[in-house]
Chains A and B, each alone.
Chain A
Amino acid sequence: MPLEDFAAEMDRCSQCSYCKWIPFDQVRSWRFAKNCPSVSYYNFNSYSARGRYAVARSLIRGQSGYSDTVRDIVFTCMTCGSCDVSCKVCRYNLEPLEMVRELKFRLVEDGQGLEAHRAIIQSLDREQNTMQRPRSGRGDWADGLDVRRLASEKGKVLFHAGCRLSYDEDLQQSARAAVDLFRKAGVDVGIMGEQEMCCGGRIYAMGYREEFARFARANMAAWARAGVETIVTSCADGYHAFKRLYPQLGSGVQVLHTVEFLARLIQEKKIVFRLEVPMTVTYHDPCHLGRQGEPYVPWDGVEKKIKGQIVVYEPERPRYNGAWGVYDPPREILRSIPGVELVEMERIREYSWCCGAGGGVREAYPEYSQWTAGERISEAIATGAEALVTACPWCERNFQDAAGTMGEPMQVYDLVELVQKAV
């Protein structure tokens, strides 16, 4: 939807600043009450959702023009969606996350994208990954794994490793573990190996809509050729892309995050824990699995008014407010692992603090990205946990880097690693 179509929302945003805080009902302390990394770091109103509405209005009305400041305002948004959740505690007719995505698209279309992002896009065109690494190495993570390659064979269940797990040698063990666990549970899972392509989710969050669509169509075609009916991924960004974005382009495959699949297999006793993992852990909800992990619901409607001036939609518009994200399966898994004690941070589930890796921020604003991750490490430390567990390699990478920089002994795990330790 063009940026101009958000003009009503720009005026209807009441500038209340709820978008700067977790839902107020959930505030338990001064220290961990904020929700939006960008306004928390940069402080000016313009770095919040309410401010971005105002900046967008200023731009489309020609009251201001592009500048380095404007580019920073737009591209420091991690599109984590925490503003969206807080706004919608009270509002039913604003979509701040959608608006800021559209604002990013507009800047990119107008040639105002960031150099750091352009370099990724250029590499992506050649190498088909966002890690700026050779395409030929994409399947190396699975070397030695006895698993079918669906680029040349048929298979119904595909494990999509994603760019980060395919190339990050420190983390890719969890991808191997996931495949191993599935296979031992009797799941006939395959991978694309060297032929796997980027899901496009991260470039979509940077503002590159057309490039995203190109990758989405290519992936969907590859899946169709292989007969894939279910995609499983350990990457929350990939999960969001497949679950929420691909259906908008016609995808009908079932999408599961690894934690959903594992929770199911544990419940069905196809995975049985035999070992204790004596550890106090806390769990970080990845934004794209949690509040943005709600399923896509097609809608093609219009705004209408009832009772004179109440804004509603015909037909009723789906409401994405984080209520129905993927929160319970990872917690169920952690609670089922012998020896693991789960302690919760203050900001969890739909009002979780972002890891700092999203929206192209890790690539373009590394210091701010690390500060954001550091805030989460501090929150994890406050729980008394020994380890911070998550379910996305981008979160894991950012947390590991931040913990290292901070000199904190906090261990960081992908949930799959703990499952593997216990079987």
Chain B
Amino acid sequence: MALPKEVYKALKDIVGSENISDDPALLDSYRYSLAHTAIHLGPYYDTFTPRGAAVLLPGSTGEVQAIVRLCNEHKIKFKASSTFWSAQGYPSEDDTIQLDMRRMDRILEIDERNMFAVVEPGVIGATLQAEAMKVGLNTHIAGSGCSCSVLAGATSYFGSGPSNLYGGWHYENLLGAEWVMPTGDLFRIGSLGSGCGWFCGEGPGPSMRGIARGFLGAKGAMGVFTKCAIKLFAWPGPESLPVEGTVPAYRVSLPDNFRAYTVAFPSWKAWADAAYLIWDTGIGYLAHRQFNMFGRELKYAMVKILTDPSKTLGDLEELLEDPEVQRVTEASKRDFQIVLAGMTPRDLAWQERAFDEILARTAGWKVEAMNQPDVADWSLLYLLRLGHKNLNLVFGGSYDGCFGLLGTADYGTTHVEESGQLKKEWEEQGAVVQAGGDCTMGPIGGQGGGGTCLWENFTCFDPYERESVEGTRALFDAATKLGLARGWGVGMEKWNAQCRGPDGRTTPKEERDRIHLSAPQPSVFRYQHKIRRAFNPNDLGDAYYETLDDEAD
């Protein structure tokens, strides 16, 4: 249904005619395929999120406020997104107005002394990192990669990534924030709210991060965040990455205070012990089980392709027959990548010695083929910039994660073989890429003081082939069943099932209530229900801000 003419005109008056459209074809470029990544509820073949009623490109906080107030006046739902990585940024219901925050893309400040940056929604990890490096600082980049909005990861999701270990998760890094509440009122969170600047997310000033973010972030369902400050951390490297190499095999050779290693272990227990020791010792700039996303059996062959610009996926089968590739593949079954960065030469020397001692204690080894200069330089650039996350989709065009269990290193290593075995059985049926079952990947180390890991088992498939999509969904259903049977809980393959259903629209209330009531802590959602009622009286957001009303039982 089109917006009433007077509403469309009023919106146009706010943003200008060049920043609004309700052309059907243009609106269709703001629909997300449910056969794609980060849906975490399907996948569903040839199914899309609903077409919006209009798309707007606001250029200022004032414009956002005016839009939201108008939406309240006319009871029109709105959904804001900055960089559109996931289905969570798209409308869940018909007749929703899509706000594309792209025009608000300025880095407003980098406070070198106090180590934070103030950014608008459209600022991505790559640009903030590039600017921060000029003054000896760096930003954490969420696992979705440097193409994604820094603000979105901090205000609206949890922002986990390879540099959790040193840089912290982005939701932890959120400082002051400017929040256009669902009513259109402006709220300044933390020290910003008391006129003391951006430096703190809690105070002096209103401590509202928990309210505004809700459980794992409000995901665009509770107003619009228009500015935020984000913690930065030390960058002991050059002002700009000296990138070399022929596309796509870019690499970076950094000064001698950097090391990028791939290491592997004889058992999962040894792997987990090493993760704990890294955390306890306090070494490491980032640590990630990264390239296993291609699959235990394919990862080294893929590295060979990606580091050689003359090679393509068409070379994969031949590479897999290469005995050297097979040897390295076997040697790096239980692996991860780690970057050491010394603030001084002495610091690096100490970290190196500590890391060698950790490997000695856990009987781990450095995978030498991965540590050859060209490959290590490629890996270093990959991990620091995280600018190749679209390799998630390299095989058939789509991927999604299953399992994705958050917990200690032991927790992940306990289920990795069993989840990999389940996946391997489904791989053999042909619906998903045959990669060796174990395609688990994720960061090592994080909040909580125990080397927290978040591992998802990547599943790659073809969104254009119905059998592939439906076979993947069957695998994901089996993964959920196994997770429940083992007491691991529901994996990330169903994380969004309580918010959005198979038709791309909001999950019916009865189903949402059922899911929330069966959660370990339903009261979280009851509390959020109260918050939502108070802050969003006209209910203008979707179900990604998860609620459970008092009557549900």
Q: Which residues of A contact B (CB under 8 A)?
A: 7-8, 11-18, 21, 23-30, 33, 42-46, 50-52, 54-55, 57-59, 63-65, 67, 69-70, 73, 85, 87-94, 305-313, 316-317, 319, 321-323, 350-351
CB-defined contacts of A90 to chain B, threshold 8 Å? 248, 388-391, 393-394
**Does B247 lie within 8 Å of A310, measured CB to CB?**
no
Instruction: Please name all residues of chain A whose beta carbon is closer than 8 Å to the beta carbon of B298 when the two chains form the complex.
Output: 307
19 contacts between A and B (CB under 8 A): A12-B396, A24-B388, A25-B381, A28-B130, A42-B18, A43-B57, A44-B57, A54-B29, A55-B25, A64-B23, A70-B26, A88-B248, A89-B248, A90-B390, A94-B397, A309-B395, A311-B396, A317-B312, A350-B247
* Closest B residue by C-beta to A26: B243
Residue among B130, B397, B398, B465 making CB contact with A33, cutoff 8 Å: B130
- Quick check: A91 and B394 within 8 Å, CB to CB? yes
Which residues of chain A are near B124, meaning CB under 8 Å? 21, 33
Q: How far is the CB of B395 from chain A (nearest CB, A)?
A: 4
In chain B, positions 25-47 with a C-beta closer than 8 Å to chain A are: 25-26, 28-33, 35-37, 46
Any A CB within 8 A of the CB of B366: no
Q: Which of A12, A50, A67, A85 contacts B29 (CB 8 A)?
A: A50
Decide if B397 touches A14 in the complex (CB within 8 Å).
Answer: yes
Answer whether A92 and B387 are a contact pair too, CB < 8 Å, given A15-B36, A43-B102, A309-B462: no
**Bound Cα distance A315, B128 (Å):** 42
CB-based contact A322/B32 at 8 Å? no
B55 interfacial contact with A, CB 8 Å = yes
Contacts of B317 in A (CB 8 A): 306-307
What residues of B have a CB within 8 angstroms of the CB of A70 in the complex? 23, 25-26
Q: In the complex, which residues of chain A have a beta carbon less than 8 angstroms from the beta carbon of B129?
A: 27
- What are the nearest 8 A-B pairs in CB distance? A24-B387, A12-B397, A90-B390, A51-B29, A64-B24, A58-B28, A64-B25, A46-B29
Q: Chain A contacts of B431 at CB under 8 A?
A: 308-309
Instruction: State which of A308, A313, A321 has its C-beta within 8 Å of the C-beta of B434.
Output: A308
In contact, A55 and B131 (Cβ under 8 angstroms): no
- Complex Cα distance, B123 from A23, in Å, reads 16
Binary per-residue interface labels of chain B (235-260) against chain A in the complex, 1 for a CB within 8 Å, 0 otherwise: 00000110100111010100000000
Give complex CA distance A88, B391 in Å.
10
Chain A residues within an 8 Å CB radius of B28 = 54-55, 57-58, 63-64
Interface membership of B468, Cβ < 8 A: yes
Closest CB-CB distance, B205 to chain A, in whole Å?
A: 28
Given A89-B248, A90-B248, A90-B394, residue A69 in contact with residue B25 (CB < 8 A): yes
Is the CB of B309 closer than 8 A to any CB of chain A?
A: yes
Q: Which residues of chain B are within 8 angstroms of A87 by Cβ–Cβ distance?
A: 390
Which residues of A lie under 8 Å from residue B390 when comparing CB positions?
A: 14, 16, 18, 87, 89-91
Contact call A44/B55, Cβ cutoff below 8 A: yes
B552 at interface (Cβ–Cβ under 8 A)?
no
Docked Cα-Cα span, A69 to B23, in Å, equals 7
Collect the chain A residues with CB atoms within 8 Å of residue B18's CB.
42
Whole-angstrom distance between the Cβ of A315 and the nearest chain B Cβ: 8
Residues of A contacting B350 in the complex (Cβ-Cβ under 8 angstroms): none
Closest residue of chain A to B395, judged by CB? Answer: A310
A25 touches B241 (CB 8 A): yes
Partner of A44, one of B21, B107, B131, B465: B21
- Which residues on the A side are within 8 Å of B394 (C-beta)? 90-92
The residues of B that contact A63 with a CB separation of less than 8 Å are: 24-25, 28
In angstroms, Cα B37 to Cα A130, docked, is 45
- Chain B residues in 8 Å Cβ range of A316: 312, 314-315
Instruction: For A91, give its contact among B19, B33, B393 (CB under 8 Å).
Output: B393
- Asked whether, in the complex, the Cβ of B131 is within 8 Å of the Cβ of A30, the reply is yes
Contact with A along B429-470 (1 / 0, CB 8 A): 011111100000000000000000000000011111100100
Considering only CB atoms, which chain A residue lies closest to B388 in the complex? A90
CA–CA, A312 and B390, complex, Å: 17
Contact assessment for B29 and A45 in the assembled complex, using a CB-CB cutoff below 8 Å: yes
Please indicate the chain A residues that have their CB under 8 angstroms from the CB of B349 in the complex. none
Q: Is B304 an interface residue (CB 8 A)?
A: no
Interface residues on B, range: 35 or more
Closest CB-CB distance, A303 to chain B, in whole Å? 10
Of B314, B381, B393, the residue contacting A14 (CB under 8 A) is B393
Given known contacts A65-B25, A89-B387, what 20 new A-B pairs fall within 8 Å (CB)?
A: A14-B393, A16-B393, A21-B124, A28-B130, A29-B127, A30-B123, A30-B131, A45-B55, A89-B390, A305-B396, A305-B462, A307-B298, A308-B430, A308-B433, A309-B461, A310-B313, A310-B396, A316-B312, A321-B248, A350-B247
Question: Within the assembled complex, what's the spacing in Å between the Cα atoms of A29 and B132?
Answer: 9
Contacts of A24 in B (CB 8 A): 126, 145-147, 385-388
**Among candidates B26, B246, B313, B463, residue contacting A55 with C-beta atoms closer than 8 Å:** B26
Q: Would you call B25 and A45 a contact (CB within 8 A)?
A: no
Contact of A11 with B147 in the complex, beta carbons under 8 Å: no
Which of A14, A23, A54 is B31 in contact with, Cβ under 8 Å? A54
How far is the CB of B124 from the nearest CB of chain A, in Å? 8
Verify if B316 is at the interface (C-beta below 8 Å from A): yes
Residues of B contacting A12 in the complex (Cβ-Cβ under 8 angstroms):
393, 396-398, 462-464
How far in angstroms is the closest Cβ of chain B from A47? 9
> In chain B, residues 257-314, which have Cβ atoms closer than 8 Å to a Cβ of chain A?
298, 309, 312-314
What chain A residues lie within 8 Å of B247 (beta carbons)?
Answer: 23, 85, 88-89, 321-323, 350-351
Q: B100 an interface residue at 8 Å Cβ cutoff?
A: yes
Q: State in angstroms the CA–CA spacing of A313 and B317 once bound together.
A: 12
Please measure, in the bound complex, the distance between the C-alpha atom of A23 and the C-alpha atom of B465, giving whole angstroms.
29
B365 within 8 Å of A (CB atoms): no
Q: CA–CA, A29 to B46, complex, Å?
A: 38
Q: Is the CB of A25 within 8 A of B26?
A: no
Contact call A309/B250, Cβ cutoff below 8 A? no
Chain A residues contacting B505 (CB-CB under 8 Å) are: none
Contact B83 A17 (CB under 8 A): yes
CB distance from A155 to the nearest CB of B (A): 37
Bound CA–CA A58/B146 (angstroms): 29
Q: Does B84 contact A (CB under 8 A)?
A: yes
Contact A309 B432 (CB under 8 A): yes
Of the candidates B37, B126, B312, B388, which one forms a contact with A92 in the assembled complex, judged by CB atoms under 8 Å apart? B312
Q: Chain B residues near A85: list those with CB within 8 A.
A: 247
Closest beta carbon of chain B to A76's beta carbon, Å: 12
Give the chain A neighbours of B100 by CB distance below 8 A: 43-45
Q: Which residue of B lies closest to A54 (CB)?
A: B29
Taken together as a complex, chains A and B put the C-alpha atoms of A29 and B240 apart, in Å, by: 9
> With the chains together, A316 CA to B318 CA distance in Å?
12
Question: Which of chain A's residues have a CB closer than 8 A to the CB of B29?
Answer: 44-46, 50-52, 54-55, 58
A23–B248 touching, CB < 8 Å: yes
Tell me the nearest residue of chain A to B86, going by C-beta. A15
Inter-subunit contact B36/A14 (CB<8 Å)? yes
Q: Which chain B residues border A16 with CB–CB below 8 Å? A: 85, 147, 389-390, 393
CB distance from B119 to the nearest CB of A (A): 10
- Please give me the residue from chain A that is nearest to B391 by CB atom: A90
Confirm or deny: B493 has a beta carbon within 8 angstroms of a beta carbon on chain A.
no
| Distance of A24 Cα from B381 Cα, bound (Å) | 10
Would you give the shortest CB distance from A228 to chain B, in whole angstroms? 32
A32, chain B: closest CB distance, angstroms = 10
**Using Cβ atoms and an 8 Å threshold, which residues of chain B touch A30?**
107, 123, 127-128, 130-131
Residues of B with C-beta under 8 A to A59: 25
The answer for the CA separation of A89 and B247 in the assembled complex, in Å, is 7
CB distance from B526 to the nearest CB of A (A): 35
Query: Do the beta carbons of B147 and A46 come within 8 Å of each other?
Result: no
In the bound assembly, the distance between CA atoms of A43 and B30 in angstroms comes to 12
For A319, what are the chain B residues with a Cβ–Cβ distance below 8 Å? 312
Name the CB-closest residue of B to A69. Answer: B23
- Mark contacts of B191-213 with chain A using CB atoms, 8 A cut-off: 1 yes-contact digit, 0 otherwise: 00000000000000000000000
Q: How far is the CB of A306 from chain B (nearest CB, A)?
A: 6
Q: Which residues of A contact B464 (CB under 8 A)?
A: 7-8, 11-12
**Binary CB contact string for chain B from 399 to 415 against chain A (1 if under 8 A, 0 otherwise):** 00000000000000000
B127 (CB) vs chain A CBs: closest residue: A30
Set of chain B residues within 8 Å of A44, measured between Cβ atoms: 21, 26, 29, 55, 57, 100
Residues of A within 8 A of B252 (CB): 25
